[in-house]
Amino acid sequence: MNPAVISLLALMLALIISCISPINVGFIAIALAFLVGHFVAGLKVSAITAGFPSGLFITLTGITLLFAQAQANGTLEKIARHSVRLARGNRGMIPVIFFFLAAGLATVGAGNIAATALLAPIAMSIAGELGISAFLMAIMLANGANAAAFSPFAPTGIIANSIMARIGLEGAAWANYLNTLLAQSAVAFSGYFLLGGLRLFTRDGAHSGQKRLEEIISQKVKPFTRHQRLTLGVIATLVISVVSVQLASVILPGLEVQLDIGLGAFVCAVVLSIAGAADEAQAVKSMPWGVILMVSGVTVLMSVLDKTGGMDLFTRLLAKLSGPDYVYAAIALVTGIISAYSSSSGVVLPAFLPTIPGLVENLGGGNPLMIAYSINVGAHLVDVSPLSTLGALCLACAAGGEDRTVLFRKLMAWGLSMALVGALVCQLFFGYR
């Protein structure tokens, strides 16, 4: 059989396994890349391993290590506890606060998964205590974290921007961020209003949830420790430094100063380790190694696909699903459906973003950048699904009295419906530019 066909079948197999099995698809992808690339296509092992995204691996590892340290020493949890006090007695403000808190943490570099993992135990527990719908809280928290997923400082943003740069779509980092921020915010607050968020503003002094909120606010939160202040300082320094260099390069095009965020994160992490500000071993254990290896493995398989001609075959098949005028809705729908059962940043982005140049060529038209935006938005709007990481975290952290079966069904219905919503949104916003 043709190596291009076999390599494409290998990718399809990896996608299917990622939807139905807990096995890390990154390992499967690397194994398939070796078997197909070496024994079917006759590629040298060095050509196969050259597809490993070493730069992306270093960046993801550095960023996630730094924020794992911030989580290990209690800095991020204390930020969350202080933030609840902003509600000032209004239960309706609690889901909104967690939306913006998740978005803020994701923006500065924690990313959508880390922000949700940190906040879900607190947010879902508080929702149970205050009589707030677990479904409503999950939608606000997960969409808040996802709203900032494409921050240039966050892992998902780094993954998308790295792949897009390789296919010639550079300089879109902040546009990626803003597109997703607007789409996720619109979805989250639509859910907030539809699910009775405004009713929570009714101050009923006899309501047990209202009484509990007032008790929480009255409790004194301990100030940040010296190590936690140092952690906040190094993270702020890294973000300000990266933004300053980016702005300087725009104002002074000839400036050759560069600051790699991944390597900069390693410097910050080492500072915290030397200062004894965090348990390094605990931080390393809590890093999302599964996602990092998933992204790296799928990227290796996509490299083999490109070398064997499977990428061209894949783009021709995608082109048959739509014409140039409706490719934005079609690609958002396809990536949304797959992402509802799989990893958006670990599987969908590495598999679909590299197909854009060939897809446009086979369609005979279409805007590559708008297609990229459609993939990014469509793949992430569905992530409240309980089969995706964010939805699963919210489900797992639901309060003890919550019926998790009912919550699972609600999250599943919402997540799948977002595939259609994403297709419509992407066609409207990106199809007519």
Q: Give 297-321 as a DSSP string.
A: HHHHHHHHHHHHTHHHHHHHHHHHT
DSSP, res 1: -
313: in domain: no
Domain span at residue 10 reads 1-50+297-308
321: in domain: no
Torsion angle, CA of 71/75/80/85, rounded to 10 degrees? 170
Span 20-37, pLDDT tens digits: 777 888 899 999 999 999
Question: Are the C-beta atoms of 340 and 385 separated by less than 8 Å?
Answer: yes
Output the CA angle 42-27-310, nearest 5 degrees.
40
Which of 161-165, 224-228, 245-249 is predicted least confidently? Answer: 245-249
Q: What is the mean pLDDT of residues 365-376?
A: 90
**Cα(266)–Cα(64) distance, rounded to whole angstroms?**
10
- Please report which confidence band the pLDDT of residue 112 belongs to, taking 50, 70 and 90 as the band edges: confident
Smallest CA-to-CA distance from 306 within 356, 368, 262, 261 is with 356
**Cα(276)–Cα(38) distance, rounded to whole angstroms?**
46
pLDDT given for residue 211 in this prediction: 62
- Please report which confidence band the pLDDT of residue 254 belongs to, taking 50, 70 and 90 as the band edges: low
pLDDT given for residue 47 in this prediction: 93
Q: For residue 141, which amino acid is it?
A: L
pLDDT given for residue 256 in this prediction: 63
Which of 47-51, 119-123, 178-182, 372-376 is predicted least confidently? Answer: 119-123
In terms of C-beta density within 10 A (0-12 exposed, 13-18 middle, 19 or more buried), how is residue 71 classed? buried
pLDDT given for residue 140 in this prediction: 94
**Cα(269)–Cα(44) distance, rounded to whole angstroms?**
37
pLDDT given for residue 255 in this prediction: 62
- Residue predicted with more confidence, 398 or 212: 398
- What token pair was written down for 218? 């009255």
44: in domain: yes
Question: Are the C-beta atoms of 95 and 330 separated by less than 8 Å?
Answer: no
- Determine the distance from the C-alpha atom of residue 405 to the mean position of all C-alpha atoms in its chain, rounded to a whole number: 25
Give percent of the chain with pLDDT exceeding 90.
29
pLDDT given for residue 207 in this prediction: 56
Structural domains in the chain (count) = 1
Terminal-to-terminal C-alpha distance of the chain = 42
46: in domain: yes
- What token pair was written down for 329? 């809705």
pLDDT given for residue 318 in this prediction: 76
Span 259-312, pLDDT tens digits: 777 888 899 999 999 999 988 899 999 887 887 888 788 889 888 988 998 877
**DSSP alpha helices (H): ranges in 278-388?**
280-286, 289-308, 310-320, 327-341, 349-352, 356-363, 368-381
**Cα(373)–Cα(353) distance, rounded to whole angstroms?**
10
Name 413's Cβ contacts closer than 8 Å, sequence gap at least 6.
none
278: in domain: no
Span 198-227, pLDDT tens digits: 887 775 554 555 566 666 666 676 888 999
- What token pair was written down for 296? 């790296």
37: in domain: yes
* Arithmetic mean of pLDDT over the chain: 84
11: in domain: yes
**Cα(312)–Cα(300) distance, rounded to whole angstroms?**
16
Alpha-carbon distances, residue 319 vs 21, 122, 310, 356, 365 (angstroms) = 29, 45, 14, 10, 10
In terms of C-beta density within 10 A (0-12 exposed, 13-18 middle, 19 or more buried), how is residue 20 classed? exposed
30: in domain: yes
Name 407's Cβ contacts closer than 8 Å, sequence gap at least 6.
134, 135, 138, 386, 395, 398
Q: Tokens 């996630």 correspond to what residue?
A: 64
pLDDT given for residue 323 in this prediction: 75
Alpha-carbon distances, residue 329 vs 11, 129, 321, 431 (angstroms) = 23, 41, 10, 8
Name 118's Cβ contacts closer than 8 Å, sequence gap at least 6.
71, 76, 77, 80, 105, 110
Q: Tokens 């991020």 correspond to what residue?
A: 76
